[in-house]
């Protein structure tokens, strides 16, 4: 036996003065308060991370943590601004819904479903309203069956007709290759390349090569395709591009971004009147064939040949790929893209594709990358 065991015996209690006791109580309270605060900060941090992009499996902890946050938030005097984001992507305490999962991982062409476990305030399935934040990535029917359309992430939102303000979001991650319309009409030797060709998809009249939306003389957009402006990611990266240019003393600015079908219709027809259709076709797109209708194309600075060779044009050609953009109609590629050289017209494709194009050379085109043509069929 060693001496340590003697501490197990009850010790005689020391007498403690009232003031010392109060001091100790205050100390203990302070420590507890500090611990609680630390816990809240940790939970808030964990949740704000979770609300961003996150791969991995369906984790039951994700919704649990979010629910904790919704109750914890009002207690803290300075609730972090990120909490609203976290609440949006997980179950909401007063949403009136409880689902068996809050994220769905499916392959392109496959389906998944999130079952509603409790539905206390609704009147049944007829009352459910299911919507997809991006039907290009996943669609959902009125029973909550989710179908993967193309690779990416989006949200499926469940609300009710009775009270559309109550809603819950389910994260959908679509992965894998498509089993859908693989219309590989072009079986050229290029397909011997090691990497499998990305799936070719046409969804509601919109053509995709892998994740890349394609608009050229062969592929058009429906007249009602209207993102209402530049796509958010495109905008975001264009801002980064401008900042990057500014650091190098180069001023890049937007001259023309999104153009609707109707506007392009007017524009093209006025060019036809002035120059004739044959000439107009070399520099202006027919309605539905303009990349500007995608919300992913931007004309910068001076939109005519005087832009060629300026420090801005040279910087743009050399650096735009770093920000996910490509010079869409490079010099000497008119036979391939269908358009003459436009050093001012950049197209957002994301950094993965822009990097690929850059590796082939900055005059490489989407038509060459995906082995597609650009010709009006009529
Ligand atoms: Zn343009």
- Tens digits of per-residue pLDDT, 331-349? 999 999 999 999 999 999 9
**Structure-model confidence comparison of residues 166 and 25, the more confident one:** 25
Most confidently predicted of 128-142, 188-202, 248-262: 248-262
Single pTM value for the model? 0.51
**Has residue 162 got a pLDDT over 80?**
no
370, 218 Cβ separation under 8 angstroms: no
Q: What is the pLDDT of residue 124?
A: 56
**Has residue 232 got a pLDDT over 90?**
yes
**Has residue 104 got a pLDDT over 90?**
no
**Has residue 317 got a pLDDT over 90?**
yes
342 is catalytic: yes
**Structure-model confidence comparison of residues 109 and 279, the more confident one:** 279
State the distance from the centre of ligand 1 to the C-alpha of 345, rounded, in angstroms: 4
Coil vs helix vs strand at 208: strand
Q: Tell me if the domain spanning 98-175 has CATH number 2.60.40.1080.
A: yes
- The values of phi and psi at residue 19, to 5°, are -70, -40
State the distance from the centre of ligand 1 to the C-alpha of 347, rounded, in angstroms: 9
Give residue 157's pLDDT band: very low, low, confident or very high (50, 70, 90): confident
Distance CA 136, CA 114 (A): 19
pLDDT, mean of residues 248-255? 98
State the distance from the centre of ligand 1 to the C-alpha of 292, rounded, in angstroms: 6
User: Mind listing the pLDDT tens digit for each residue in 46-74?
Assistant: 545 444 333 333 333 333 333 333 333 33
Distance CA 103, CA 57 (A): 9
Q: What is the pLDDT of residue 186?
A: 46
Q: What is the pLDDT of residue 243?
A: 98
Percent of the chain with pLDDT over 90: 46
Four-point Cα dihedral 333, 252, 240, 345, nearest 10: -20
Q: What is the pLDDT of residue 258?
A: 97
Q: What is the pLDDT of residue 109?
A: 82
Cβ-Cβ contacts under 8 Å for 2 (sequence gap 6 or more):
none
Domain at 189-370, CATH from 1.10.287.1040, 3.20.20.140, 3.30.1380.10, 3.40.630.30: 3.30.1380.10
In a 10 Å sphere around its CB, with 0-12 CB exposed, 13-18 middle and 19+ buried, how is residue 59 labelled?
middle
Q: What is the pLDDT of residue 34?
A: 77
State the distance from the centre of ligand 1 to the C-alpha of 219, rounded, in angstroms: 16
189-370 and 98-175 share a CATH fold: no
Q: What is the pLDDT of residue 373?
A: 96
- Average pLDDT for the chain: 77
Choosing from 342, 352, 359, 375, which is the catalytic residue?
A: 342
**Has residue 111 got a pLDDT over 90?**
no
State the distance from the centre of ligand 1 to the C-alpha of 202, rounded, in angstroms: 23
**Has residue 141 got a pLDDT over 70?**
yes
Q: What is the pLDDT of residue 1?
A: 41
Q: What is the pLDDT of residue 128?
A: 76
**Has residue 37 got a pLDDT over 50?**
yes
**Has residue 155 got a pLDDT over 90?**
no
Buried b (16+ CB within 10 A) or exposed e, 321-331: bebbbbbbbbe
Q: What is the pLDDT of residue 90?
A: 43
User: Mind listing the pLDDT tens digit for each residue in 71-90?
Assistant: 333 343 343 433 333 333 34
State the distance from the centre of ligand 1 to the C-alpha of 298, rounded, in angstroms: 6
Most confidently predicted of 38-47, 54-63, 173-182, 271-280: 271-280
**Structure-model confidence comparison of residues 378 and 314, the more confident one:** 314
Q: What is the pLDDT of residue 324?
A: 98
State the distance from the centre of ligand 1 to the C-alpha of 303, rounded, in angstroms: 8
Q: What is the pLDDT of residue 35?
A: 76
Hey, where are the domains in the chain? Answer: 20-89, 98-175, 189-370
State the distance from the centre of ligand 1 to the C-alpha of 313, rounded, in angstroms: 14
Coil vs helix vs strand at 29: helix
Give residue 298's pLDDT band: very low, low, confident or very high (50, 70, 90): very high
Take residue 356 and report the two structure tokens written for it.
Answer: 């690929």
The neighbour count for residue 203, using CB atoms within 10 Å, is 15
């Amino acid at each position: 036996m060693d001496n340590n065991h003697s501490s197990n015996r009850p010790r005689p209690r020391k007498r403690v003065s009232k003031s010392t006791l109060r001091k100790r109580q205050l100390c203990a309270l302070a420590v507890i308060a500090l611990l609680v605060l630390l816990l809240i900060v940790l939970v808030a941090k964990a949740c704000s991370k979770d609300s961003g992009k996150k791969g991995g499996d369906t984790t039951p902890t994700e919704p649990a943590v979010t629910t904790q946050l919704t109750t914890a938030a009002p207690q803290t005097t300075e609730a972090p601004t990120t909490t609203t984001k976290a609440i949006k992507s997980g179950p909401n305490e007063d949403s009136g819904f409880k689902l068996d999962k809050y994220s769905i991982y499916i392959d392109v062409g496959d389906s998944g479903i999130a079952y509603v476990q409790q539905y206390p305030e609704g009147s049944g399935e007829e009352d459910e309203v299911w919507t997809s934040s991006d039907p290009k990535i996943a669609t959902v029917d009125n029973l909550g069956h989710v179908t993967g359309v193309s690779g990416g992430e989006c949200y499926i939102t469940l609300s009710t007709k009775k009270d559309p303000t109550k809603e819950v979001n389910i994260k959908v991650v679509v992965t894998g290759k498509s089993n859908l319309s693989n219309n590989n009409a072009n079986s050229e030797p290029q397909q011997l390349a090691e990497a499998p060709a990305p799936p070719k998809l046409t969804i509601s009249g919109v053509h995709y090569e892998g994740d890349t939306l394609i608009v050229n003389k062969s592929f058009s957009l429906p007249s009602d395709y209207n993102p209402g402006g530049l796509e958010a990611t495109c905008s975001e990266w264009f801002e980064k591009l401008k900042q990057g240019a500014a650091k190098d003393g180069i001023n890049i600015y937007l001259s023309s971004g999104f153009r609707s079908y109707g506007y392009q219709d007017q524009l093209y027809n006025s060019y036809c009147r002035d120059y004739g259709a044959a000439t107009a076709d070399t520099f202006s797109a027919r309605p539905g064939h303009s990349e500007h209708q995608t919300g992913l194309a931007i004309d910068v600075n001076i939109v005519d040949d005087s832009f060629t060779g300026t420090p801005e044009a040279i910087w743009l050609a050399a650096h735009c790929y770093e920000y996910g953009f490509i010079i869409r109609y490079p010099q000497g590629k008119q036979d391939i893209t269908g358009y003459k050289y436009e050093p001012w017209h950049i197209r957002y494709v994301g950094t993965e594709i822009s990097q690929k194009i850059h590796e082939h050379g900055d005059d490489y085109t989407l038509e060459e990358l995906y082995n597609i043509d650009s010709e009006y069929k009529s």
